[in-house]
């Protein structure tokens, strides 16, 4: 069984295209200058439609995490236990991701992490994070 991969839509295609090239981007409002995530039609801070995808530093900290011991489907069973985390990036927004390249029990809230990429399909890379 294959793991679920993101199916990009018109609003999110630039995010996944960038990730597939190894770039970590987020939407930024050109009106108020603030960043947000997840992508949406209007800036959540000022309701402007003037949004653009911009490169992020990829630096962040772990805001919260959980070590998963029960897979949602057989596709994830071989990876147990694994970390699902909420990472706060330097630019401000948070996102859900994984923390990889370290033992799950070493992950802590406040831990410094940096973006990395994991290929999950021929045309898809997931942004993940590893200890900085």
**Could you say which residues in the range 37-76 bind another protein, by CB under 8 A?**
37-38, 63-73, 76
Q: Total residues at the site for another protein (CB under 8 A)?
A: 37
Residues 74-103 that bind another protein (CB under 8 A): 76, 79, 82, 84-86, 93-98
Site string for another protein, 18-37 (x = CB under 8 A): -------------------x
CA dihedral 56, 132, 125, 49 (to 10 degrees): -20
In which region does residue 101 sit, left (phi positive, over 0), alpha (psi from -120 to 50) or beta (all else)?
A: left
* Shortest CB 104 distance to another protein, Å: 9
Q: Which is nearer to another protein, 13 or 132 (CB)?
A: 13
Three-class secondary structure of residue 15 per DSSP: helix
**Per residue in 96-119, is it b (16+ CB within 10 Å) or e — as a string?**
ebbbbeeebeebeeebebbbbbee
Burial of 87 (0-12, 13-18, 19+ CB in 10 A): buried
- Least Å from the CB of residue 2 to another protein: 11
Q: Does 5 bind another protein (CB under 8 A)?
A: yes
**Neighbour count for residue 73 (Cβ, 10 Å):** 10
Looking at the Cβ atoms of 17 and 86, the one nearer to another protein is 86
Residues of the shown chain interacting with another protein in the complex, contacts defined by CB under 8 A: 3-9, 12, 16, 37-38, 63-73, 76, 79, 82, 84-86, 93-98, 109, 120, 126
């Amino acid at each position: 069984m294959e793991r679920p991969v993101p199916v990009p839509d018109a609003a999110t295609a630039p995010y996944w295209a960038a990730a597939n090239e190894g770039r970590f981007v987020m939407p930024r409002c050109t009106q108020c200058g603030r960043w947000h995530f997840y992508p949406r039609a209007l800036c959540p801070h000022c309701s402007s439609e003037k949004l653009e995808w911009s490169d992020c530093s990829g630096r962040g900290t772990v805001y919260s995490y959980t070590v998963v011991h029960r897979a949602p489907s057989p596709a994830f069973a071989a990876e147990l236990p694994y970390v699902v985390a909420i990472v706060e990036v330097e630019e401000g927004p948070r996102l859900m991701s994984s923390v990889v390249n370290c033992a799950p029990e070493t992950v802590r809230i406040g831990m410094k992490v940096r973006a990395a990429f994991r290929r999950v399909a021929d045309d898809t890379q997931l942004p993940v994070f590893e200890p900085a």
